[in-house]
Amino acid sequence: MDPVSKVSDYRKLEESVTLSTVEGPLGASGSDGASTELFTLNMGPHHPATHGVLRLLVTLEGEVVRDLKPIIGYLHTGIEKTAETKSYWKVIPVIERMDYLAYFFNSMAYCGAVETLLEVEVPKRAQYLRVIHMELNRIMSHLVWLGTAALDLGAMSMFWYCFRERETILDLFEQSTGQRMHTRYFQIGGVIEDIPVGFAAKLKYLTDEMPRRITQYEALLTKNEIVLQRLRNVGVVDEKTLLGLGVTGPLLRATGNPWDLRKAAPYCSYDDFDFKIPVGTVGDNYDRYRVRTAEMRESVKIIEQAMEGLPEGPHITEDRKIALPPRHELATSMEALIHHFKLVTEGFRVPAGEAYHPIESPRGELGCFVRSDGSSKPARVHMRDPSFVNLQSLSTMVEGSYIADLIATLAMLDPIIGGVDR
Amino acid sequence: MTPWNPGEDVIAVQRGPEPGGAGGAYRSFGETLRGLKTTFARVIEGTNTIQYPEEKVPVYPRFRGRHKLHRFEDTGLEKCVGCSLCAAACPSDCIRVVASENDPENRVSAGERYAAVYEINLSRCIFCGYCEIACPFDAITMGHDYEMSDYNRSDLIFTKEMLLAEPIDRTPLRNEGE
Ligand code: SF4
Ligand code: SF4
């Protein structure tokens, strides 16, 4: 079947959806009349349980999901195309808005790719500051996942607890970067400002507090009978299928495969830190929950080590062709002023070439591909977003299970639609 | 199967008990009570919510809110010289600057030229602060106000007069290091 007619089949199917049942639309089987009656249902795009503007075309047999097609694109913002029309440093605030819960990771993948092309050395202090902010971001993203996933299972108080801790982290971001979300803190060659006075003390408070809080979350959820019934042995997919689909991150690690780019291909000084990779065994929703909560604990450890060993030195590269000169030089040095004008109006030129920089985001491998034609604007920017790839595995996870389990599985999959549609 | 061996760096997470059965019957009570204990123990920690808008969240010194244009304190002249660097740096193209020559009799700014028109379309602004970084004369900075909603999109286009004026409602500010 050619793709065009496949699409129109979908259109026909959509239009035929009424309150009565649809007869055998997608190759239903079974000899007795009742079981061949399938029902096609639109879940979303405006549905609170789809975690964004995601639409699922679900074919049901009674309460059992027989077929599922995610329909995406409702949040398409054309960010990749927008990035082609902007100079390199102006792409950063734009690209951060793709996966809106992992903004530090988005800019890290992009900055890493451009730094590879430029062959610029990032100072050690900047790398450590990046690690601190990325790991805080990972905890923050997992907290949003935990709160909303528990809400989907009916546990209301978890949501408030998680958002309370998230608030503390966002406060830290506001203190060091000036904004709670989409901070444009990472710049090519380092970070834009050093951390302010008082940041270390607040961070210490958080890293001391966080393990205790995670224990409290686990006291509420881990052995709760409802949680066990809803999560254990639900949405099981084996490692091979996931690898075939290209799924990475906590979903893959829940099956027992320890693939984590922070260890497998260390970037940004991650090899300086001592942390473990939590893995599951079966690959069901319960393992996904345990892996992510264990990851939060590991992130806390990384932050503590990074803050402890934070080296002195510059926070951004000294290369005046790439980084803006310090503000106080503008009033005194003509040369600094010329560099400033040049960088702000035109930006720097990047040697022609291609680079791909993969990092481990809270959802898996987030890679940024940048192609440069030698000008001051990228010729192509593409993100390999883990949410997009991971979403494909949803139908294998839920086929044959109940529609209530579909909600739980989608929550445990943790797709961010901003990253899926870009 | 795995081409890469992480060695000792892996910890397996616990599986947790199988649901249902006698253990399930126990957990329905025991673990639920344990959960309730966790919840009730939080009561003594007090509330975290604040009564917005009566009470406002103080912002940190680096917070980037609504923009402000500045004047020299001694002469009262505008700092902005209409060089359009901020407009060039803006990723969302929301600044419009039209420069014109200063009249030596009646100066508006300290430089040769001044901004005859200076508009920021706040409905497009993403509060990245690149304009503040770009301005070589500290003429534009990001203020601390975050209450900017309005009923009309056209009211969100801030003109030079609005940006030069002090905001009506001041947002509380935290001290450095607090
Ligand atoms: S804060 Fe950013 S988006 Fe807003 S006006 Fe300044 S440069 Fe433009
Ligand atoms: S605000 Fe600054 S950068 Fe913008 S036009 Fe005025 S002087 Fe130039």
Residue B102 sits in the same domain as residue B141: yes
- Which ligand has the minimum distance to the alpha carbon of residue B156? 1
Give the domain extent around B103.
67-164
Is B144 inside a domain boundary?
yes
Name the least confident of A278-292, A344-358, B122-136, B158-172. B158-172
Which residue shows structure tokens 């922070």?
A262
Over pLDDT 90: what percentage of chain B? Answer: 3
Q: Could you give the angle at the alpha carbon of A82 between the alpha carbons of A81 and A86, nearest 5°?
A: 120
**B157 Cβ closer than 6 Å to some ligand 1 atom:** no
pLDDT at site A21: 47
Q: Which two tokens stand for residue A206?
A: 């958080």
Residue B141 sits in the same domain as residue B78: yes
A136 has a pLDDT exceeding 60: yes
Distance B96 CA to ligand 2 centre (A): 10
pLDDT at site A24: 47
**B99 Cβ closer than 6 Å to some ligand 2 atom:** no
Residue B96 sits in the same domain as residue B154: yes
pLDDT at site A355: 92
Burial (CB count within 10 angstroms: exposed 0-12, middle 13-18, buried 19+), residue A202: middle
**Mean pLDDT over residues A247-251, rounded?**
90
DSSP string, B4-29: ---GGGEEEPP--PPSSHHHHHHHHH
Q: What is the side-by-side strand order in the sheet with B95-101?
A: B95-101, B113-121, B157-158
Residue B157 sits in the same domain as residue B120: yes
From residue A247, give the alpha-carbon distance in Å to each of A138, A210, A250, A378, B66.
Answer: 18, 29, 9, 28, 42
Instruction: Name the DSSP class of A279.
Output: E
Q: Of the candidates A51, A71, A91, which is a domain's last residue?
A: A71
Is A336 inside a domain boundary?
no
**Mean pLDDT over residues A306-327, rounded?**
84
What is the number of CB-based contacts under 8 A between chain A and chain B?
Answer: 147
Question: Which candidate, A129, A132, A135, A184, places its Cα nearest to that of A361?
Answer: A135
Torsions phi, psi for A300 (to 5 deg): -60, -40
Instruction: Count how many domains chain A has.
Output: 2
**Contact criterion met (CB < 8 Å) for A290 and B14:** yes
Residue A110 sits in the same domain as residue A223: yes
Length of chain A: 422
Distance A215 CA to ligand 1 centre (A): 42
- State the angle between helix axes of A199-221 and B21-41 in degrees (0 to 180), rounded to the nearest 10: 150
Q: Which two tokens stand for residue B18?
A: 């199988």
Q: Which has the higher per-residue pLDDT, A69 or B9?
A: A69
Q: Which of A345-349, A367-371, B5-9, B147-151 has the highest mean pLDDT?
A: A367-371
pLDDT at site A112: 92
Residue B127 sits in the same domain as residue B44: no
What's the gap between Cα A168 and its chain centre? 20
Q: Are A370 and A355 in contact (CB under 8 A)?
A: yes
Is B113 inside a domain boundary?
yes
Is A337 inside a domain boundary?
no
Question: CATH number, domain at B135?
Answer: 3.30.70.3270
User: Cβ neighbours of residue B162 under 8 Å, at least 6 residues apart?
Assistant: none
B141 by DSSP, 3-state: which? strand
Give the domain extent around A36.
3-71
Length of chain B: 178
Residue B93 sits in the same domain as residue B138: yes
Which helix (H) or strand (E) segment holds residue A68: the answer is strand A64-71
Residue B122 sits in the same domain as residue B160: yes
pLDDT at site A320: 78
Residue A48 sits in the same domain as residue A138: no
Instruction: Name the DSSP class of B128.
Output: -
Q: Which two tokens stand for residue B163?
A: 């940006």
What's the gap between Cα B59 and its chain centre? 9
Residue A281 sits in the same domain as residue A234: yes
A68 has a pLDDT exceeding 60: yes
Q: Which two tokens stand for residue A280?
A: 């599951």
- Kindly indicate the confidence band of residue A356, based on its pLDDT and cuts at 50, 70 and 90: very high
Q: Are A296 and A214 in contact (CB under 8 A)?
A: yes
**Contact criterion met (CB < 8 Å) for A175 and B136:** no
Q: Of the candidates A71, A93, A113, which is a domain's last residue?
A: A71
Question: Which candidate, A188, A237, A190, A224, places its Cα nearest to that of A343?
Answer: A188
Is A401 inside a domain boundary?
yes
Q: Which has the higher per-residue pLDDT, A126 or B9?
A: A126
**Mean pLDDT over residues A329-339, rounded?**
81
Is A372 inside a domain boundary?
yes
DSSP string, B24-51: HHHHHHHHHHHHHHHHHHTGGG------
Q: Of the candidates A37, A53, A71, which is a domain's last residue?
A: A71
Residue B174: closest C-alpha in chain A: A175
**Mean pLDDT over residues B85-98, rounded?**
90
- Which ligand has the minimum distance to the alpha carbon of residue B97? 2
Of B2, B19, B37, the CB nearest to A257: B2
Distance CA B169, CA A329 (A): 34
Q: Which has the higher per-residue pLDDT, B94 or B20?
A: B94
**B167 Cβ closer than 6 Å to some ligand 1 atom:** no
- Kindly indicate the confidence band of residue A22, based on its pLDDT and cuts at 50, 70 and 90: very low
Which amino acid is residue A381, in one-letter code? Answer: V
Residue B71 sits in the same domain as residue B44: no
Q: Which has the higher per-residue pLDDT, B74 or A173?
A: A173
First to last CA, chain A: 29
Q: Are A150 and A221 in contact (CB under 8 A)?
A: yes
pLDDT at site A303: 92
Best residue for ligand 2 mutational test, from B97, B109, B112, B114 (most atoms within 8 Å of Cβ): B97
Distance CA A310, CA B46 (A): 35
- Kindly indicate the confidence band of residue B2, based on its pLDDT and cuts at 50, 70 and 90: low
Residue B122 sits in the same domain as residue B80: yes
Residue B110 sits in the same domain as residue B144: yes
pLDDT at site A339: 83
**Mean pLDDT over residues A241-257, rounded?**
89
Is B160 inside a domain boundary?
yes
**Contact criterion met (CB < 8 Å) for A275 and B42:** no
Of B27, B91, B130, the CB nearest to A223: B27
Is A330 inside a domain boundary?
no
Is A19 inside a domain boundary?
yes
A1 has a pLDDT exceeding 50: no
Instruction: Give the mutation candidate from A106, A224, A234, A286 for the B interface (greatest B CB count, under 10 A).
Output: A224
* A88-134 pLDDT per residue, tens: 989 999 999 888 888 999 999 999 999 999 888 889 899 999 999 99
Which residue shows structure tokens 């192509």?
A380
Question: CATH number, domain at A128?
Answer: 1.10.645.10
Residue B39 sits in the same domain as residue B83: no
Residue A67 sits in the same domain as residue A85: no
Contacts of B15 in chain A (CB under 8 A): 281-282, 286-287, 290
Residue A54 sits in the same domain as residue A168: no
Pairing label, strands A353-361, A364-372: antiparallel
Q: What integer best gives the mean pLDDT of chain A?
A: 85
Distance CA A213, CA A303 (A): 16
Which residue shows structure tokens 């639609």?
A417
Is A216 inside a domain boundary?
yes
**Contact criterion met (CB < 8 Å) for B15 and A287:** yes
A283 by DSSP, 3-state: which? coil
Which residue shows structure tokens 């040369």?
A335
Residue A411 sits in the same domain as residue A369: yes
Q: Which has the higher per-residue pLDDT, A108 or A341?
A: A108
pLDDT at site B38: 84
Torsions phi, psi for B116 (to 5 deg): -70, -40
Distance from CA of A130 to the nearest CA of B (A): 18
Residue A254 sits in the same domain as residue A360: yes
Q: Which has the higher per-residue pLDDT, A289 or B23?
A: A289
**B129 Cβ closer than 6 Å to some ligand 1 atom:** yes
Name the least confident of A18-27, A323-332, A356-365. A18-27
**Mean pLDDT over residues A144-156, rounded?**
88
Cross-strand partners of B11:
A278
Residue A288 sits in the same domain as residue A369: yes
Residue A41 sits in the same domain as residue A86: no
Is B177 inside a domain boundary?
no
Residue A167: closest C-alpha in chain B: B48
The residue whose C-alpha atom lies closest to atom 2 belonging to ligand 2 is B135
Helices of type H across A232-284 = 239-245, 250-253, 261-264
Instruction: Count how many domains chain B has.
Output: 2
Burial (CB count within 10 angstroms: exposed 0-12, middle 13-18, buried 19+), residue A133: buried
Distance CA A248, CA B85 (A): 43
Distance A182 CA to ligand 2 centre (A): 24
**B95 Cβ closer than 6 Å to some ligand 1 atom:** yes
- Kindly indicate the confidence band of residue A34, based on its pLDDT and cuts at 50, 70 and 90: very low
Q: Which has the higher per-residue pLDDT, B86 or A34?
A: B86
Contacts of B35 in chain A (CB under 8 A): 219-220, 224
Three state DSSP letters for A44-63 = CCCCHHHCCCCEEEEEEECC
Residue B37 sits in the same domain as residue B119: no
Distance from CA of A121 to the nearest CA of B (A): 23
Q: Are A360 and A260 in contact (CB under 8 A)?
A: yes
Best residue for ligand 1 mutational test, from B92, B122, B123, B124 (most atoms within 8 Å of Cβ): B92
Residue A38 sits in the same domain as residue A117: no
Q: Are B108 and B164 in contact (CB under 8 A)?
A: no
How many CA within 13 A on the CB side of residue A268?
Answer: 31
- Which ligand has the minimum distance to the alpha carbon of residue B120? 1
Residue A130 sits in the same domain as residue A225: yes
Cross-strand partners of A365:
A360
Distance CA B63, CA B57 (A): 12
B173 has a pLDDT exceeding 80: no
pLDDT at site A18: 56
pLDDT at site B178: 60
A26 has a pLDDT exceeding 60: no
Is A198 inside a domain boundary?
yes
* A174-201 pLDDT per residue, tens: 989 888 888 889 988 888 888 888 888 8
**Exposure string (b/e) for B147-171, b if CB count within 10 Å is 16 or more?**
eeeeeeeeebbbebebbeeebeeeb
pTM of the model: 0.87
Residue A11 sits in the same domain as residue A159: no
Question: Which candidate, A380, A325, A388, A387, places its Cα nearest to that of A350?
Answer: A380
